[in-house]
Amino acid sequence: MVRCMAYWICIFLLAFNAQAQVRDEAISKQELQRYLNSQRKASKRSSDLSIDIYKVQLTMQVNMNNAQIERASVGYKFISLSTISVLDLDLRNELTVDSVVYHGQTIVFSHNNHLLNCFLPQTLGFNVSDSLEVYYHGTPNMSNRAYSRTVNASGPAISTLSEPYGASYWWPCRDNLKDKIEQLDVDLIVDTPYTAASNGVLKSIRSFGSKRQFHFEHRYPIATYLVAIAFANYNVYAQLAHLSSINQDLPLVNYVYAHNDLNTIQNQTAATVPIMALYDSLFGTYPFANEQYGHVQFSWGGGMEHQTMSFMVNFGYDLIAHELAHQWFGDQVTCANWKSIWLNESFATYTNLLCYDFLKTPSDFRQRIVQFQNDVMSAPNGAVFKQDTTDANQLFDYRTTYQKGAMVLHQLRWVLGDSIFFAAIRNYLADPLTRYRFADQNQLRSHFEALCNCSLKDYFDDWIMGEGYPNYHLIWRQSGTSLSIEVNQSNSMNNAIEYNVPIPVLIKGSYKDTLLVLPVNQLHQIHSFNLPFVVKDIECDPDHYLLGKFKVNGTYLTGPNVNVYPNPFSNHLYLWHEKESIQHWSIYAPNGQLVKQAQTDLMPGDVLDISFSDLAQGIYTIQFGNSNNVYTQKIVYIKP
């Protein structure tokens, strides 16, 4: 008994720790968002749509001892989207701009209120291709950890995490969700003992003096907040995943702190291989298949889905699965605004759960789904869509943004079925209007609706925009072979939302069960079914697809193992035996004359319906049974 209890305690702790890694990510992002919002209120912002930046060349040399950016430059190639004479960029005041160069000549600039204005020598017309370079240096504000320096057993480490508004803390940029950079080149310079990491593919390492320069190239569109850099004393190793969708191997490049046990870490990151294969089969080819995927260890809690290179505090299974999922949901297709952050986080969280559905045991999957249901319904409020993006606690709230959104997707999978559900997601990811672009939830919804040939407006209004969850009260009654189920619903927030998700109900008999699906589209409904066996119990949502609390009351057939009812009876007499089959029955008049008989093959728990229309009113005797036992009972017939 002690061994058994210890085993289940270990299983619980492993499950808790696995999810805690993703929960830590939410908490870390909350902390960063809270600080950034407090600073952002006093900042001017660059205009979102004046230019389209299509190429960035970022060069940076850092000092590992004090985290200073000793020298840096960012070159931009862009196309004007309107007539402009000033190019504005987001850049924190803590960093010093040395110069702005336009066509080889320095130009006038101003740098105030965390906004860098570059005054062009002539006005650019619409749709003009141009370029500009910014040179700067300084020590970033590290209080928010968008750019941070830590020290571990391997020595000092520097890393970035820019979501949602942190990129301007370490490089001049357009910190928005309007424009993706089509081409990114990054050159990172650091003292020779250290290694640098960034997005894309490492193309070269050049040594000069006591330093090394690492050159990375990335040739897929990337949102500003997904650009990242890291420096540390890393061990670097590669593994291979196979993408069956294109029959191609993909390098998995891992940067791990040198003090870690390499064999242990390699065994952990090996889990990426089957997870990558699963996502490749469910959602289509890994979005950056011409380059690579990998992990960079950093010192934040949780992880961050930097494009092609997730930054990880450790290499737990759930964190690997969650951050890899973001390469499709968040990186390839990025939420068009932070109010719709669930398009990134809810999808990554549910995709993580799919690893347990497809790669683990049914009990593993069930355990995590039940945990999510309980967590989501531990409080009555909370919407998946975020109306207030300045509230850090809500924007990255683990219970609603991550877990509730994941369960809303799981529930939608039940409503639509696997075929439509996964096909619609693949279409959403492959849509030219969303692929490598920004998307909103209406675009996602349209792909679901196109395949299911139905409207999901109510579903999205209730479950994404609305708060809370339903409380269902089911009352069932059985009379003969007729079963009625009354469904009453209310909202946990006590508002008048009418949820319209069908409810799967498992009807349990003594020796057989059947699954019924109850359509629900009103606050109060009654459903009737013909059921040829006696109901012993009813279980709502047996496979845990739904968000909702259930209360069930029923009218049970009572008595011994054998039952003849109703008695007295009129047109119909019902007969059942809980444990034995019934092979024959006979009805006798008071004088012993045989009135009616039949052979039957009634299984234990099934209900036999005997109809009458030609009997005289009176007292009769029924005999029924099988080759082993015969039962006799008086019955009273009353003319209807």
**What is the domain-level CATH number for residue 607?**
2.60.40.1930
- Mean per-residue pLDDT for 43-71? 89
Whole-number pLDDT of residue 26: 59
Q: How confident is the model at residue 128 (pLDDT cuts 50, 70, 90)?
A: very high
Helical H runs in 298-440?
Answer: 317-326, 342-359, 362-376, 392-395, 405-416, 418-430
Q: What is the pLDDT of residues 529-562, one digit of tens each?
A: 998 888 888 999 999 999 999 999 986 555 556 7
Q: How confident is the model at residue 18 (pLDDT cuts 50, 70, 90)?
A: low
Say yes or no: 422 and 492 in one domain: no
pLDDT tens-digit series, residues 429-481: 999 999 999 999 999 999 999 999 999 999 999 999 999 999 999 999 887 78
**What's the confidence (pLDDT) of residue 9?**
37
> What total number of domains does the chain contain?
4
Confidence of residue 227 (pLDDT cuts 50, 70, 90): very high
528 and 612 part of one domain: no
Residue 214 lies in a domain: yes
- Report the CATH number that the domain containing residue 188 is assigned in CATH: 2.60.40.1730
> Does some domain include residue 237?
no
Q: Is the pLDDT of residue 300 over 80?
A: yes
Terminal-to-terminal C-alpha distance of the chain: 62
If asked whether residues 353 and 394 sit together in one domain, one would say yes
CA distance 554 to 532: 17
Q: How far is residue 240's CA from residue 297's CA, in Å, rounded to a whole number?
A: 19
pLDDT (mean) for 598-607: 87
Other CB atoms within 10 A of residue 388 CB? 10
Q: What is the largest CA-CA distance in the chain?
A: 121
| Average pLDDT for 517-535 | 91
Residue 151 lies in a domain: yes
CB–CB of 539/514 below 8 Å? Answer: no
CA–CA distance, 103 with 277 (Å, rounded to integer)? 47
Give the C-alpha separation, 132 to 130, whole Å.
7
Structural domain contains residue 6: no
pLDDT for position 569: 84
1 inside domain: no
What's the pLDDT score for residue 38? 47
Q: How confident is the model at residue 307 (pLDDT cuts 50, 70, 90)?
A: very high
Angstrom distance (rounded) from CA 143 to CA 469:
38
| Any domain includes 3 | no
For the segment 199-224, the average pLDDT, to the nearest whole number, is 97
Q: Are residues 121 and 260 in the same domain?
A: no
- Domain boundary at 207, 232, 257, which? 232
Q: What is the mean pLDDT of residues 398-417?
A: 97
In angstroms, the CA 232 to CA 195 distance is 6
Residue 449 lies in a domain: yes
Instruction: Return the pLDDT at 33.
Output: 52
Residues 327 and 457 placed together within one structural domain of the fold: yes
Same domain, 444 and 496: no
Condensed to tens digits (0 to 9), the pLDDT of residues 95-123 reads 999 999 999 999 999 999 999 999 999 99
Distance CA 252, CA 291 (A): 10
277 with 423, same domain: the answer is yes
- Domain boundary at 185, 204, 232, which? 232
pLDDT recorded at residue 339? 95
Residues 199 and 216: their CA atoms lie apart, in Å, by 7
Task: Give me the CATH number covering residue 481.
Answer: 2.60.40.1840
Q: Please check whether residues 38 and 48 belong to one and the same domain.
A: no
Task: Please identify, among 176, 209, 232, the residue that sits at the C-terminal boundary of a domain.
Answer: 232
Rounded to the nearest integer, the mean pLDDT of the chain is 90
| Domain assignment of residue 176, given as a range | 44-232
Question: Given a cut of 70, is residue 45 above it in pLDDT?
Answer: yes
- The values of phi and psi at residue 180, to 5°, are -105, 145
- Confidence class for position 19, pLDDT limits 50, 70, 90: low
Same domain for 174 and 48, yes or no, is: yes
Pair 279, 370 in one domain: yes
542 plus 583 within the same structural domain: no
Instruction: Please give the average per-residue pLDDT across 362-382, as a whole number.
Output: 96
Q: Is the pLDDT of residue 593 over 70?
A: yes
380 and 419 in one domain? yes
Domain of 268, CATH number, reads 1.10.390.10
Over residues 86-90, mean pLDDT = 95
| Residue 8 maps to a domain | no
Q: Which helix (H) or strand (E) holds 621?
A: strand 618-625
Distance CA 418, CA 571 (A): 46
pLDDT value at 406 more than 90: yes
Distance CA 168, CA 147 (A): 10
